[in-house]
Structure 1
Amino acid sequence: MKTPISKRQLLGIVSLFALFIISDGRTLNTNHQKIRAVNLGGWLVTEGWMKPSLFDSIPNKDFLDGAALQFKSKTIGKYLAAELGGGTIIVANRSSASGWETFRLWRINETSFHMRVFNKQFLGLDSTGINLVAVSNNYQTSGVFQIIRKSDDSNRVRILAPNGFYLQAKTEDVVTADSKGDGQWRDDDPSVFELTIAQRLQGEYQVTHGYGPLKAPQIMKNHWSTFIVENDFKFIATSGLNAVRIPVGWWTASDPTPPKPYVGGSLQYLDMAFLWAKKYNLKVILDLHAAPGSQNGFEHSSSRDGFIEWGQTEETIQETVRVIEFFTSRYANNPSLYAVELINEPNANGVSLSILTKYYEAGYKVVRKHAPDAFVILSNRLGGDSKELFPVASGMTNVVIDVHYYNLFSSIFDDMTVEQNIDFVQTNRSNELQAITTSNGPLTFVGEWVAEWQVRGATKEEYQRFSKAQLDVFGRASFGWAYWSLKNVNNHWSMDWMIKNGYINL
Structure 2
Amino acid sequence: MLRSLAILALATAIVSGANIRSNKTRLGCSDGKIRGVNLGGWLVLEPWITPKFFEEVNDGGDKIVDEYTYAQYLDPAVYMERMVGHWDTFYTFEDFEKLANAGLSHFRIPIAYWYWDVIEGEPFPEPNMDDTDPMSPLFYLKRGLQWMDQLGLQAVLDLHTGPGSQNGYDNSGRRGEIHWVDFDYPGKRDNIDRTLQIIEKFSNTAKQWITDGVISAETVYGIGVLNEPHACGGWNFNGEMWTACKDDFFPKAVEVVRKVFSPEEAVAVVDIAGHGYNEFEGVFADTNGVEVDAHNYQCFGGYWNDVAHWPDG
TM-score band, normalised by the shorter chain? 0.7 to 0.9
| Counterpart code for 1:317 | I
Alignment of 1:409 onto 2:300: yes
Aligned partners of 2:154 and 2:200: how far apart in 1? 19
Contact 2:296 2:308 in 1 (8 A): no
After TM superposition, give the deviation of residue 362 of structure 1 in Å.
1.2
Say which of 129, 136, 145 aligns to 1:274: 145
Higher RCO structure, 1 or 2 (CA under 8 Å, sep 6+): 2
2:10 corresponds in structure 1 to none
After TM superposition, give the deviation of residue 375 of structure 1 in Å.
1.0
Aligned partners of 2:106 and 2:143: how far apart in 1? 15
2:267 corresponds in structure 1 to 375
Alignment of 1:356 onto 2:245: yes
Aligned partners of 1:258 and 1:341: how far apart in 2? 26
Alignment of 1:319 onto 2:182: no
1:226 corresponds in structure 2 to 89
* Deviation sequence 1:74-116 (CA, Å, 0-9, x none): xxxxxxxxxxxxxxxxxxxxxxxxxxxxxxxxxxxxxxxxxxx
| Counterpart code for 1:387 | N
After TM superposition, give the deviation of residue 319 of structure 1 in Å.
1.0
* Deviation sequence 1:36-93 (CA, Å, 0-9, x none): 101100101101111111113325552416xxxxxxxxxxxxxxxxxxxxxxxxxxxx
C-alpha RMSD of matched pairs (Å): 2.8
Aligned partners of 2:165 and 2:34: how far apart in 1? 28
| Counterpart code for 1:287 | D
* Deviation sequence 1:325-361 (CA, Å, 0-9, x none): 1111111224211011111111142452221121111
Contact 2:3 2:292 in 1 (8 A): no
Secondary structure, counterpart of 1:56 in structure 2: helix
2:131 corresponds in structure 1 to none
After TM superposition, give the deviation of residue 377 of structure 1 in Å.
1.1
Contact 2:160 2:171 in 1 (8 A): yes
2:132 corresponds in structure 1 to none
| Cα distance, 1:61–1:296 mapped onto 2, change above 3 Å | farther
1:331 corresponds in structure 2 to 206
Give the unaligned 5+ runs of structure 1. 1-23, 66-201, 414-423, 438-506
After TM superposition, give the deviation of residue 405 of structure 1 in Å.
1.2
Contact 1:58 1:210 in 2 (8 A): no
1:345 corresponds in structure 2 to 228
* Deviation sequence 1:298-339 (CA, Å, 0-9, x none): 011012x51110024321011111111111111122421101
TM-score (norm 1): 0.47
Larger fraction in helix: 2
| Cα distance, 1:430–1:366 mapped onto 2, change above 3 Å | closer
After TM superposition, give the deviation of residue 389 of structure 1 in Å.
2.2
Aligned partners of 2:55 and 2:179: how far apart in 1? 29
2:45 corresponds in structure 1 to 46
Say which of 256, 259, 271 aligns to 1:366: 256
| Counterpart code for 2:228 | E
Superposed, 1:4-15 pairs within 5 Å as none
TM-score (norm 2): 0.74
* Deviation sequence 1:383-432 (CA, Å, 0-9, x none): x344322321463211111111122236857xxxxxxxxxx6xxx37843
Secondary structure, counterpart of 2:57 in structure 1: coil
Aligned partners of 1:223 and 1:253: how far apart in 2? 19
| Cα distance, 1:225–1:436 mapped onto 2, change above 3 Å | same
* Deviation sequence 1:184-211 (CA, Å, 0-9, x none): xxxxxxxxxxxxxxxxxx2211222232
| Cα distance, 1:30–1:51 mapped onto 2, change above 3 Å | closer
After TM superposition, give the deviation of residue 248 of structure 1 in Å.
0.8
| Cα distance, 1:261–1:238 mapped onto 2, change above 3 Å | same
Aligned partners of 1:283 and 1:388: how far apart in 2? 29
Aligned partners of 2:301 and 2:172: how far apart in 1? 20
Aligned partners of 2:283 and 2:150: how far apart in 1? 36
Secondary structure, counterpart of 2:156 in structure 1: strand
Aligned partners of 1:308 and 1:338: how far apart in 2? 30
| Counterpart code for 2:291 | V
Alignment of 1:239 onto 2:98: no
Contact 2:230 2:242 in 1 (8 A): no
